[in-house]
């Protein structure tokens, strides 16, 4: 690959514009930090989405986006395996 092979964006063709065009129509939302929600009678020290009690919390409409991100921050194998489920709940909550 040579320098000539690399195309520069044309004038007026904002590379970042394709990612930010729709952003001007949306308000930025800042979510406060929260702790991961835990079932009251759990015997484990982290949120495990494969446990029925935790799955129920994930699917509860009252579980907030900050709580869902707190679950993601734990980043244990159980969360990693269920990241698609948690991500879906975040998008539903938006």
Burial of residue 22, with CB atoms counted within 10 A of its CB: 0-12 exposed, 13-18 middle, 19 or more buried? exposed
**Residue 41 falls inside a structural domain:** yes
pLDDT of 25 over the 80 cut: no
Domain boundaries, position 66: 29-93
| Confidence grade of residue 30 (pLDDT, cut at 50, 70, 90) | confident
How high is the pLDDT of residue 42?
76
Cα separation, 51 vs 41, whole angstroms = 12
pLDDT digits (tens, 9 = 90+) for 52-75: 999 999 999 999 999 999 999 999
* Confidence (pLDDT) at 19: 44
pLDDT at res. 9: 53
Q: Could you tell me the two tokens for 47?
A: 């949120």
Residue 10 lies in a domain: no
In a domain, 23, yes or no: no
Give the orientation angle of helix 52-59 with respect to helix 83-93, to 10 degrees.
30
Domain count, the chain: 1
Phi, psi for 25 (deg, rounded to 5):
-90, -5
Is 14 part of a structural domain of the chain?
no
- Compute the distance between CA of residue 39 and CA of residue 20 in angstroms, rounded to an integer: 39
Q: Would you say residue 18 lies in a domain?
A: no
């Amino acid at each position: 690959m040579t320098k000539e092979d690399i195309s520069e964006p044309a004038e007026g063709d904002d590379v970042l514009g394709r990612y930010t065009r729709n952003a001007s129509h949306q308000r930025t939302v800042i979510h406060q930090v929260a702790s991961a929600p835990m079932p009251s009678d759990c015997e484990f020290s982290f949120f495990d989405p494969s446990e029925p009690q935790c799955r129920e919390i994930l699917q509860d409409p009252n579980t907030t986006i900050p709580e869902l991100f707190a679950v993601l921050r734990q980043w244990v194998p159980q969360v990693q395996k269920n990241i698609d489920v948690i991500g879906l709940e975040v998008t539903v909550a938006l």
